[in-house]
């Protein structure tokens, strides 16, 4: 009996121990199990990065004492890759803005720099502009320059010196972001070297030109502005200029002088003319060169010796680096292809302003 009682107690002890083990195991499972979510509760996820909206930037405006207007804020755009190139008066068709490049001289013909916007007044198509956006003194605007050498038989004896002067000019004037091309013209246009910054290629282009034939000056000027300057597509402001070396005597053109001038204005290109007529008095050709330069905002040079052609090139170089830039929005602007006159003057009468006489508004379909 004693033995039987001991066996019963051992069995009860074993049962109690099993309950303890089961309870401990259940507690362990509850401790390690994830906390349950309430019904319908969404499981949180890791926060996702939100795209940041760039803040709008307001375009800085420096109003002239002409009209006062503030342009609408411009939405931030990705940076534009600039070619070191703005030229002369450039009409921005998309936003109807005009970039007007001009030069200021004193009564002795010396260039005047350091003036501010309050020194000038402006009329576009006989009206003050709707808004003045910027005013800069630009001495290093990227240049787009074309060298046009008269290769007709009338300048055969002076041609080599003109070539050397042109090469010297290119060596001195072209900076890293500038580009130039070289052409000769008689009855036809010969583009010896297209737009490049490579001085060696430009030098070779000048040296390849040979004189001979008649003179179709107006045809050459018209074609050059149409094919070389009007087709330029720049991302920034550049200064477009043609250096025309000729006696101005045209005996072969189909185009008129007025046609050539209008095409220069359409291409927003300044023409600097260097006369190869070294006689003591001016002739009809000199008057032609003066008229072209005046209408396009350029300048005509009349050296009295062929050796002074190089000095004229130097004067052009100095002027190209001593100009101002005025950006404005014209009033009552219409994209009708009409010619709009420009009148820009210095408030101080001792200063003279030189710029082009106007520009052609683009047509709406363009």
Q: What is the pLDDT of residue 139?
A: 67
Distance CA 77, CA 235 (A): 14
Q: Report the pLDDT averaged over residues 28-53.
A: 38
Distance between terminal CA atoms of the chain?
121
Q: Is 165 exposed, middle or buried (0-12, 13-18, 19+ CB in 10 A)?
A: buried
Distance CA 313, CA 147 (A): 11
More confident residue, 78 or 275: 275
What is the DSSP code (8-state) at residue 115? -
Distance CA 353, CA 358 (A): 14
pLDDT at 65 over 80: no
Q: What is the pLDDT of residue 157?
A: 81
Number of CB atoms found within 10 A of residue 219's CB: 20
> Predicted confidence band at 364 (pLDDT cuts at 50, 70, 90)?
confident
Q: Residues 80-133: pLDDT tens digits? A: 333 333 333 344 444 589 989 999 999 999 999 999 999 999 999 999 999 999
pLDDT at 42 over 60: no
Distance CA 200, CA 62 (A): 42
pLDDT at 8 over 70: no
Residue count of the chain, please give it.
Answer: 366
Q: What percent of the chain has pLDDT over 90?
A: 60
CA angle 166, 170, 176 (to 5 degrees): 170
> Predicted confidence band at 26 (pLDDT cuts at 50, 70, 90)?
very low
Phi, psi of 317 (to 5 degrees): -60, -45
Q: If residue 259 lies in a helix (H) or strand (E), which one and from where to where?
A: helix 257-266
Please answer whether residues 332 and 315 qualify as being in contact, where contact means their C-beta atoms are separated by less than 8 angstroms.
Answer: no
Residue 86: alpha-carbon gap to chain centroid: 3
CATH architecture of 143-318: 3-Layer(aba) Sandwich (3.40)
Q: What is the 3-state secondary structure (H, E, C) of 48-100?
A: CCCCCCCCCECCCCCCCCCCCCCCCCECCCCCCCCCCCCCCCEEECCCCEEEE
CA angle 290, 256, 145 (to 5 degrees): 55
Q: Residues 214-242: pLDDT tens digits? A: 999 999 999 999 999 999 988 877 899 99
More confident residue, 52 or 260: 260
Q: Where are the domains of the chain?
A: 90-140+324-360, 143-318
Q: Which of 289, 248, 231, 220 is nearest to 87 (CA)?
A: 231
pLDDT at 273 over 50: yes
């Amino acid at each position: 009996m004693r033995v039987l009682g001991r066996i019963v107690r051992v069995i009860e002890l074993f049962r109690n121990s099993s309950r303890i083990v089961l309870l401990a195991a259940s507690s362990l499972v509850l401790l390690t199990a994830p906390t349950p979510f309430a019904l319908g509760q969404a499981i949180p996820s890791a926060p996702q990065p939100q795209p940041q909206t760039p803040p709008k930037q307001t375009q800085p405006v420096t109003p002239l004492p002409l009209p006062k207007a503030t342009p609408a804020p411009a939405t931030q755009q990705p940076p534009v890759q600039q070619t070191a190139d703005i030229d002369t008066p450039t009409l921005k068709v998309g936003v109807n803005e005009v970039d007007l490049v001009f030069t200021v001289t004193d009564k002795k013909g010396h260039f005047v720099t350091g003036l501010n916007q309050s020194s000038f007044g402006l009329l576009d198509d006989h009206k003050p502009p709707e808004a003045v956006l910027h005013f800069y003194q630009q001495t290093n605007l990227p240049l787009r320059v074309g060298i046009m050498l008269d290769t007709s038989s009338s300048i055969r004896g002076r041609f080599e010196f003109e070539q050397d002067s042109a090469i010297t000019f290119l060596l001195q004037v072209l900076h890293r972001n500038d580009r130039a091309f070289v052409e000769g013209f008689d009855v036809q246009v010969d583009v010896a070297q297209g737009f490049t910054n490579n001085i060696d290629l430009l030098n070779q282009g000048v040296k390849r030109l040979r004189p001979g034939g008649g003179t179709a000056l107006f045809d050459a000027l018209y074609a050059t502005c149409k094919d070389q300057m009007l087709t330029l597509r720049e991302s920034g402001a550049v200064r477009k200029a043609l250096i025309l070396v000729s006696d101005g005597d045209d005996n072969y053109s189909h185009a008129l002088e007025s046609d050539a001038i209008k095409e220069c204005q359409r291409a927003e290109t300044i023409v600097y003319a260097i006369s190869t007529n070294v006689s003591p008095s001016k002739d009809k050709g000199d008057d032609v060169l003066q008229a072209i330069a005046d209408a396009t905002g350029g300048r005509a040079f009349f050296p009295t010796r062929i050796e002074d052609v190089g000095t004229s090139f130097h004067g052009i170089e100095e002027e190209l680096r001593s100009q101002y830039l005025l950006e404005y929005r014209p009033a009552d602007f219409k994209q009708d292809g009409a010619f709009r006159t420009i009148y820009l003057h210095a408030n101080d009468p001792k200063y003279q302003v030189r710029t082009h006489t106007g520009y052609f508004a683009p047509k709406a379909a363009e």
